[in-house]
Amino acid sequence: MKIKLVPGLFALGFSLFIAAAFYLFSPEPDSNFRRALAITALLYSLQSIGGMIAVSYETERIGMIVRTCALTLGGIGLAFLTLAALFSTNVPLVVVGMGLMILFQAALTYAISKSGQ
């Protein structure tokens, strides 16, 4: 696995953009829920986008599988954040839910990269 700098900076910028959008999208003005939503959106989108474009893997097959999983799980995570922003103001729900998604995606990426395909 090798990390590429320029695509990594692009992933960071795009993730900051997504986090700012979720910060502004939250209905609660100046609350801990708004901050938690933005921080979890930043971390999750950085992991998903960074894993898709900023990391090169040993083989193209492993890279394609990891990118597909990152895209799918990234969409699921952002859908969860959108639903949480619309219908909830529960900080632990967002933090624990996105924390589990981040751990699941990291474990899946590790398992696929070590599978030797």
Q: What pLDDT sits at residue 15?
A: 93
Q: What is the C-alpha separation between 92 and 89, in angstroms, rounded?
A: 9
Q: What pLDDT sits at residue 17?
A: 95
CB atoms within 10 A of CB 17: 11
**Rg for the chain, CA atoms, rounded:** 15
Q: What is the mean pLDDT of each run of 10 residues along the chain (117 residues)?
A: 89 93 82 88 92 87 90 92 86 90 91 82
Extract the tokens encoding 7.
């695509």
Q: What is the DSSP letter of 65?
A: H
User: Interior CA angle at 35 toward 67 and 53, to 5°?
Assistant: 15
As a whole number of Å, the end-to-end CA separation of the chain is 14
Extract the tokens encoding 66.
């990891």
Q: What is the C-alpha separation between 10 and 16, in angstroms, rounded?
A: 10
Q: Which sequence spans correspond to the domains of the chain?
A: 2-113
Q: What pLDDT sits at residue 56?
A: 87
Q: What pLDDT sits at residue 90?
A: 84
Q: What is the C-alpha separation between 58 and 33, in angstroms, rounded?
A: 40
pTM of the model: 0.86
Q: What pLDDT sits at residue 31?
A: 81
